[in-house]
Amino acid sequence: MKYQTVKGNKVQCDICPRMCNLSDGQSGFCYVRKNDGGNIVLETYGYNTGLAIDPVEKKPLYHFLPSSRVLSFGTLGCNMGCLFCQNWHTTKQKFPINECEKATPEQIVSTALAYECESVAFTYNDPICFFEYATDTARLCREAGLKTIAVTSGFINKEPAKEFFNLMDGANIDLKGFSETFYSKNCLAHLEPVLDSIKYAVNETGCIVELTTMLIEGENDQYVEQECEWILKNLGDTIPLHFSAFFPKFKFSDRNSTKFETLKKAYDTAKSMGLKYVYTGNIPDIETSTTYCKTCGKPLIVRDGYSIRDNNLSDGKCKYCGTACDGLF
Protein backbone atom coordinates (compact mmCIF):
# COMPACT_ATOMS: atom_id res chain seq x y z
CA MET A 1 0.00 0.00 0.00
CA LYS A 2 1.27 3.41 -1.00
CA TYR A 3 0.29 5.27 2.16
CA GLN A 4 2.15 3.38 4.86
CA THR A 5 5.38 3.68 6.87
CA VAL A 6 7.36 0.77 8.26
CA LYS A 7 8.26 1.44 11.90
CA GLY A 8 10.45 -1.32 13.30
CA ASN A 9 8.39 -4.50 13.25
CA LYS A 10 5.15 -2.54 12.84
CA VAL A 11 3.55 -0.74 9.89
CA GLN A 12 1.75 2.57 10.21
CA CYS A 13 -1.29 3.24 8.03
CA ASP A 14 -0.97 6.81 6.69
CA ILE A 15 -4.44 7.15 5.19
CA CYS A 16 -6.10 9.05 8.02
CA PRO A 17 -4.87 11.12 10.97
CA ARG A 18 -5.24 8.16 13.35
CA MET A 19 -2.00 6.75 11.85
CA CYS A 20 -2.68 3.31 13.32
CA ASN A 21 0.64 1.60 14.03
CA LEU A 22 -0.07 -2.07 13.46
CA SER A 23 1.69 -5.31 14.33
CA ASP A 24 1.50 -8.17 11.86
CA GLY A 25 -2.08 -9.43 11.77
CA GLN A 26 -3.48 -6.42 13.63
CA SER A 27 -6.40 -4.34 12.28
CA GLY A 28 -6.71 -0.57 12.57
CA PHE A 29 -9.40 1.52 14.26
CA CYS A 30 -11.58 1.22 11.16
CA TYR A 31 -11.21 -2.60 11.54
CA VAL A 32 -11.04 -3.13 7.75
CA ARG A 33 -7.37 -2.24 7.17
CA LYS A 34 -4.84 -4.69 8.49
CA ASN A 35 -1.10 -5.31 8.62
CA ASP A 36 -0.78 -8.45 6.55
CA GLY A 37 2.85 -9.58 6.59
CA GLY A 38 4.28 -6.04 6.59
CA ASN A 39 1.82 -4.49 4.18
CA ILE A 40 -1.42 -2.68 4.98
CA VAL A 41 -4.27 -4.30 3.08
CA LEU A 42 -7.92 -3.37 2.71
CA GLU A 43 -9.90 -6.44 3.67
CA THR A 44 -13.15 -5.12 2.19
CA TYR A 45 -11.76 -4.57 -1.32
CA GLY A 46 -14.45 -5.85 -3.71
CA TYR A 47 -17.08 -6.25 -0.97
CA ASN A 48 -19.98 -3.89 -0.39
CA THR A 49 -23.18 -3.71 1.59
CA GLY A 50 -25.30 -3.60 -1.57
CA LEU A 51 -25.60 -1.38 -4.63
CA ALA A 52 -28.50 1.07 -4.73
CA ILE A 53 -29.69 3.66 -7.21
CA ASP A 54 -30.46 6.98 -5.55
CA PRO A 55 -31.32 10.45 -6.79
CA VAL A 56 -28.29 12.72 -6.35
CA GLU A 57 -30.40 14.86 -3.98
CA LYS A 58 -30.21 12.03 -1.43
CA LYS A 59 -26.41 12.39 -0.99
CA PRO A 60 -27.27 15.34 -0.47
CA LEU A 61 -25.92 17.21 -3.49
CA TYR A 62 -28.17 20.03 -4.69
CA HIS A 63 -25.76 21.72 -7.10
CA PHE A 64 -24.62 18.67 -9.04
CA LEU A 65 -26.65 17.41 -12.04
CA PRO A 66 -30.06 17.78 -10.33
CA SER A 67 -32.33 14.72 -10.29
CA SER A 68 -29.65 12.53 -11.91
CA ARG A 69 -29.34 8.84 -11.01
CA VAL A 70 -26.43 7.75 -8.84
CA LEU A 71 -25.26 4.18 -8.28
CA SER A 72 -24.32 4.21 -4.59
CA PHE A 73 -22.40 1.80 -2.42
CA GLY A 74 -20.46 1.51 0.79
CA THR A 75 -18.58 -1.20 2.64
CA LEU A 76 -17.91 -2.04 6.27
CA GLY A 77 -16.08 -0.13 9.00
CA CYS A 78 -15.24 3.54 9.40
CA ASN A 79 -12.23 5.59 10.42
CA MET A 80 -14.46 7.92 12.46
CA GLY A 81 -15.96 6.96 15.79
CA CYS A 82 -19.23 8.93 15.80
CA LEU A 83 -21.37 8.03 18.80
CA PHE A 84 -24.44 9.04 16.77
CA CYS A 85 -23.56 6.96 13.65
CA GLN A 86 -26.68 6.40 11.59
CA ASN A 87 -25.11 3.32 9.91
CA TRP A 88 -23.57 1.83 13.04
CA HIS A 89 -24.67 -1.75 12.30
CA THR A 90 -22.19 -1.92 9.40
CA THR A 91 -19.58 0.59 10.58
CA LYS A 92 -19.22 -0.04 14.30
CA GLN A 93 -19.51 -3.76 14.83
CA LYS A 94 -17.86 -6.75 13.27
CA PHE A 95 -20.10 -7.74 10.39
CA PRO A 96 -19.30 -10.99 8.58
CA ILE A 97 -17.72 -10.12 5.27
CA ASN A 98 -19.27 -13.20 3.67
CA GLU A 99 -22.69 -11.57 4.16
CA CYS A 100 -21.60 -8.72 1.87
CA GLU A 101 -22.20 -8.45 -1.87
CA LYS A 102 -19.19 -8.86 -4.13
CA ALA A 103 -18.48 -6.46 -6.98
CA THR A 104 -15.23 -5.53 -8.65
CA PRO A 105 -14.69 -1.91 -9.74
CA GLU A 106 -15.33 -3.08 -13.33
CA GLN A 107 -18.66 -4.64 -12.33
CA ILE A 108 -19.71 -1.46 -10.52
CA VAL A 109 -19.00 0.63 -13.60
CA SER A 110 -20.85 -1.76 -15.93
CA THR A 111 -23.83 -1.84 -13.52
CA ALA A 112 -23.93 1.98 -13.43
CA LEU A 113 -23.91 2.12 -17.23
CA ALA A 114 -26.53 -0.64 -17.56
CA TYR A 115 -28.90 1.25 -15.23
CA GLU A 116 -28.27 4.59 -16.96
CA CYS A 117 -26.72 6.27 -13.95
CA GLU A 118 -24.74 9.44 -14.50
CA SER A 119 -22.55 8.99 -11.42
CA VAL A 120 -21.21 6.48 -8.93
CA ALA A 121 -21.18 7.47 -5.25
CA PHE A 122 -18.94 6.15 -2.48
CA THR A 123 -21.17 6.53 0.53
CA TYR A 124 -22.99 4.94 3.52
CA ASN A 125 -19.68 4.51 5.35
CA ASP A 126 -16.64 6.69 4.79
CA PRO A 127 -14.79 5.94 1.52
CA ILE A 128 -11.58 7.09 3.22
CA CYS A 129 -11.41 3.71 4.96
CA PHE A 130 -12.03 1.88 1.66
CA PHE A 131 -9.63 4.17 -0.17
CA GLU A 132 -8.27 1.67 -2.75
CA TYR A 133 -11.70 0.25 -3.65
CA ALA A 134 -13.12 3.77 -4.07
CA THR A 135 -10.19 5.27 -6.01
CA ASP A 136 -9.79 2.28 -8.36
CA THR A 137 -13.53 2.45 -9.10
CA ALA A 138 -13.36 6.23 -9.54
CA ARG A 139 -10.59 5.90 -12.15
CA LEU A 140 -12.65 3.41 -14.16
CA CYS A 141 -15.72 5.64 -13.85
CA ARG A 142 -13.81 8.54 -15.38
CA GLU A 143 -12.68 6.33 -18.29
CA ALA A 144 -16.30 5.26 -18.85
CA GLY A 145 -17.64 8.82 -18.78
CA LEU A 146 -19.31 8.48 -15.37
CA LYS A 147 -19.05 11.15 -12.69
CA THR A 148 -17.78 10.28 -9.22
CA ILE A 149 -19.15 11.37 -5.86
CA ALA A 150 -17.76 10.99 -2.34
CA VAL A 151 -19.82 11.33 0.80
CA THR A 152 -17.17 11.67 3.45
CA SER A 153 -16.14 12.99 6.84
CA GLY A 154 -12.97 14.48 5.32
CA PHE A 155 -10.85 12.95 8.11
CA ILE A 156 -7.92 12.09 5.85
CA ASN A 157 -4.21 12.92 5.67
CA LYS A 158 -2.94 15.47 3.17
CA GLU A 159 -1.18 13.16 0.67
CA PRO A 160 -4.03 10.65 0.23
CA ALA A 161 -6.45 13.61 0.18
CA LYS A 162 -4.77 14.85 -3.00
CA GLU A 163 -5.33 11.58 -4.81
CA PHE A 164 -8.81 11.12 -3.38
CA PHE A 165 -10.39 14.52 -4.06
CA ASN A 166 -8.78 14.87 -7.49
CA LEU A 167 -10.63 11.70 -8.50
CA MET A 168 -13.99 13.04 -7.32
CA ASP A 169 -16.30 15.25 -9.39
CA GLY A 170 -18.58 15.95 -6.46
CA ALA A 171 -18.38 15.55 -2.70
CA ASN A 172 -20.54 16.09 0.29
CA ILE A 173 -18.20 16.57 3.23
CA ASP A 174 -19.52 16.44 6.78
CA LEU A 175 -18.52 19.30 9.02
CA LYS A 176 -19.90 17.57 12.06
CA GLY A 177 -19.69 20.46 14.48
CA PHE A 178 -17.47 23.49 14.63
CA SER A 179 -15.74 22.50 17.84
CA GLU A 180 -12.70 20.39 18.69
CA THR A 181 -14.52 19.26 21.85
CA PHE A 182 -17.43 17.99 19.77
CA TYR A 183 -15.09 16.10 17.43
CA SER A 184 -12.95 14.57 20.17
CA LYS A 185 -15.84 13.67 22.48
CA ASN A 186 -18.48 12.54 20.00
CA CYS A 187 -16.56 11.50 16.87
CA LEU A 188 -13.31 10.29 18.51
CA ALA A 189 -11.54 12.45 15.93
CA HIS A 190 -10.31 16.01 15.41
CA LEU A 191 -11.64 19.13 13.73
CA GLU A 192 -8.45 20.62 12.23
CA PRO A 193 -7.69 17.85 9.68
CA VAL A 194 -11.31 18.03 8.50
CA LEU A 195 -11.05 21.79 7.97
CA ASP A 196 -7.79 21.25 6.04
CA SER A 197 -9.43 18.65 3.78
CA ILE A 198 -12.40 20.91 3.11
CA LYS A 199 -10.15 23.86 2.23
CA TYR A 200 -8.06 21.66 -0.05
CA ALA A 201 -11.03 20.07 -1.86
CA VAL A 202 -12.83 23.38 -2.35
CA ASN A 203 -9.92 25.66 -3.19
CA GLU A 204 -7.42 23.38 -4.91
CA THR A 205 -9.35 20.75 -6.87
CA GLY A 206 -12.12 20.77 -9.44
CA CYS A 207 -14.39 18.80 -7.13
CA ILE A 208 -17.79 20.40 -6.50
CA VAL A 209 -18.16 20.37 -2.73
CA GLU A 210 -21.21 20.77 -0.52
CA LEU A 211 -21.08 20.67 3.27
CA THR A 212 -23.42 19.01 5.74
CA THR A 213 -23.74 19.64 9.45
CA MET A 214 -26.12 17.32 11.26
CA LEU A 215 -27.39 19.31 14.21
CA ILE A 216 -27.69 17.57 17.57
CA GLU A 217 -29.35 19.90 20.03
CA GLY A 218 -27.08 20.99 22.88
CA GLU A 219 -24.05 19.30 21.28
CA ASN A 220 -23.23 21.29 18.14
CA ASP A 221 -26.06 23.71 17.34
CA GLN A 222 -24.37 26.42 19.41
CA TYR A 223 -21.44 26.65 16.97
CA VAL A 224 -23.34 27.58 13.80
CA GLU A 225 -22.21 31.21 13.78
CA GLN A 226 -18.50 30.30 14.14
CA GLU A 227 -18.90 27.67 11.43
CA CYS A 228 -20.41 30.18 9.01
CA GLU A 229 -17.69 32.74 9.81
CA TRP A 230 -15.03 30.15 8.98
CA ILE A 231 -16.79 29.12 5.77
CA LEU A 232 -17.12 32.71 4.58
CA LYS A 233 -13.47 33.44 5.34
CA ASN A 234 -11.99 30.24 3.89
CA LEU A 235 -14.38 29.01 1.22
CA GLY A 236 -16.48 31.98 0.15
CA ASP A 237 -20.22 32.55 0.17
CA THR A 238 -21.34 30.18 -2.58
CA ILE A 239 -20.56 26.78 -1.08
CA PRO A 240 -23.84 24.96 -0.39
CA LEU A 241 -24.40 24.22 3.30
CA HIS A 242 -26.94 21.68 4.55
CA PHE A 243 -28.19 21.56 8.14
CA SER A 244 -29.74 18.15 8.65
CA ALA A 245 -31.77 16.67 11.48
CA PHE A 246 -30.41 13.99 13.81
CA PHE A 247 -32.47 10.98 14.83
CA PRO A 248 -31.57 8.94 17.93
CA LYS A 249 -29.21 6.10 17.02
CA PHE A 250 -26.36 4.00 18.43
CA LYS A 251 -24.85 5.56 21.59
CA PHE A 252 -27.12 8.58 21.21
CA SER A 253 -30.33 6.55 21.30
CA ASP A 254 -31.46 8.46 24.39
CA ARG A 255 -31.18 11.90 22.76
CA ASN A 256 -34.00 13.93 21.26
CA SER A 257 -34.52 14.14 17.52
CA THR A 258 -33.65 17.56 16.14
CA LYS A 259 -36.66 19.89 15.92
CA PHE A 260 -37.30 21.73 12.67
CA GLU A 261 -37.08 25.05 14.59
CA THR A 262 -33.43 24.24 15.38
CA LEU A 263 -32.65 23.65 11.70
CA LYS A 264 -34.53 26.82 10.74
CA LYS A 265 -32.62 28.89 13.28
CA ALA A 266 -29.30 27.66 11.82
CA TYR A 267 -30.63 28.25 8.30
CA ASP A 268 -31.61 31.83 9.16
CA THR A 269 -28.24 32.46 10.81
CA ALA A 270 -26.29 31.23 7.78
CA LYS A 271 -28.47 33.20 5.37
CA SER A 272 -28.26 36.39 7.41
CA MET A 273 -24.46 36.08 7.54
CA GLY A 274 -24.32 36.01 3.73
CA LEU A 275 -24.17 32.36 2.65
CA LYS A 276 -26.03 32.09 -0.65
CA TYR A 277 -27.03 28.43 -0.75
CA VAL A 278 -28.29 27.11 2.57
CA TYR A 279 -30.59 24.11 3.07
CA THR A 280 -32.27 22.07 5.75
CA GLY A 281 -32.49 18.30 5.48
CA ASN A 282 -34.03 15.11 6.92
CA ILE A 283 -37.27 16.97 7.75
CA PRO A 284 -39.25 17.91 4.62
CA ASP A 285 -39.70 21.64 4.06
CA ILE A 286 -40.04 23.14 0.61
CA GLU A 287 -38.99 26.71 1.44
CA THR A 288 -35.66 25.73 3.01
CA SER A 289 -34.95 23.04 0.40
CA THR A 290 -35.20 25.51 -2.47
CA THR A 291 -32.20 26.96 -4.29
CA TYR A 292 -32.59 30.73 -4.70
CA CYS A 293 -30.73 32.89 -7.23
CA LYS A 294 -27.80 34.58 -5.52
CA THR A 295 -28.48 37.80 -7.46
CA CYS A 296 -32.25 38.30 -7.80
CA GLY A 297 -33.39 35.95 -5.00
CA LYS A 298 -36.02 34.18 -7.13
CA PRO A 299 -36.51 30.41 -6.63
CA LEU A 300 -34.34 28.45 -9.08
CA ILE A 301 -34.88 24.82 -8.06
CA VAL A 302 -37.88 24.00 -5.90
CA ARG A 303 -37.54 20.59 -4.23
CA ASP A 304 -40.14 18.42 -2.60
CA GLY A 305 -38.25 15.72 -0.75
CA TYR A 306 -35.86 14.18 -3.27
CA SER A 307 -37.91 15.25 -6.28
CA ILE A 308 -37.85 18.52 -8.15
CA ARG A 309 -41.09 20.44 -8.37
CA ASP A 310 -39.89 23.39 -10.41
CA ASN A 311 -36.64 24.17 -12.25
CA ASN A 312 -36.08 27.75 -13.37
CA LEU A 313 -32.56 27.26 -14.68
CA SER A 314 -31.81 27.53 -18.34
CA ASP A 315 -28.32 26.33 -19.31
CA GLY A 316 -27.41 26.62 -15.62
CA LYS A 317 -28.53 30.25 -15.47
CA CYS A 318 -31.41 31.94 -13.67
CA LYS A 319 -34.18 32.41 -16.21
CA TYR A 320 -35.21 35.70 -14.56
CA CYS A 321 -31.88 37.59 -14.38
CA GLY A 322 -29.35 35.38 -16.22
CA THR A 323 -26.98 34.81 -13.28
CA ALA A 324 -25.20 31.44 -13.38
CA CYS A 325 -25.97 29.17 -10.44
CA ASP A 326 -22.80 27.76 -8.83
CA GLY A 327 -22.30 24.04 -9.40
CA LEU A 328 -22.75 21.59 -12.27
CA PHE A 329 -26.07 21.88 -14.08
Closer of 20 and 65 to ligand SF4 (Cβ):
20
Residue 72 beta carbon to ligand SF4: minimum distance, rounded to whole angstroms: 14
Whichever of 44 and 79 has its CB closer to ligand SF4, that residue is: 79
Q: Which is nearer to ligand SF4, 75 or 205 (CB)?
A: 75
Closest approach of ligand SF4 to the CB of residue 93, in Å: 12
Q: Which amino acid is at 306?
A: Y
Shortest separation between residue 54's beta carbon and ligand SF4, angstroms: 16
Q: Report the C-alpha gap between 272 and 313 in whole angstroms.
A: 24
Contacts 24+ apart (CB under 8 A), 289-298: 291/62, 291/63, 291/325, 293/318, 293/320, 293/321, 293/323, 293/325, 294/237, 294/238, 294/323, 294/325, 294/326, 295/321, 295/323, 296/320, 296/321, 296/323
Of 82 and 231, which has the nearer Cβ to ligand SF4? 82
> How far is residue 279's CA from residue 147's CA, in Å, rounded to a whole number?
23
- Where would I find the H helices in the chain? 88-91, 105-114, 131-144, 158-166, 180-186, 191-204, 224-234, 260-273
Burial of 316 (0-12, 13-18, 19+ CB in 10 A): middle
Instruction: Name the residue nearer to ligand SF4 (CB basis): 78 or 263.
Output: 78
Of 15 and 207, which has the nearer Cβ to ligand SF4?
15
Name the residue among 101, 98, 97 with its Cα closest to residue 71: 101
> What distance in Å separates the CA atoms of residue 121 and residue 70, rounded to the nearest whole number?
6
Q: How far is the CB of 5 from ligand SF4 (least distance, A)?
A: 11
**Shortest distance, position 156 Cβ to ligand SF4, whole Å:** 8
User: Please, which residue, 65 or 209, has the CB nearer to ligand SF4?
Assistant: 209
Chain residues that interact with ligand SF4, rule: CB under 6 A: 13, 15-16, 18-20, 28-30, 33, 78-80, 82, 85-87, 91, 125-126, 129, 153
Tell me the sheet residues that pair with 252: none
> Residue of minimal CB distance from ligand SF4?
28
> Which SS3 state, helix, strand or coil, does residue 168 take?
coil
Q: What's the closest the beta carbon of residue 155 comes to ligand SF4, in angstroms?
A: 8
Query: Are the beta carbons of 240 and 211 closer than 8 angstroms?
Result: yes
CB of 106 to ligand SF4, least distance (A): 24
Question: From CA 114, how far away is CA 326, in angstroms rounded?
Answer: 30
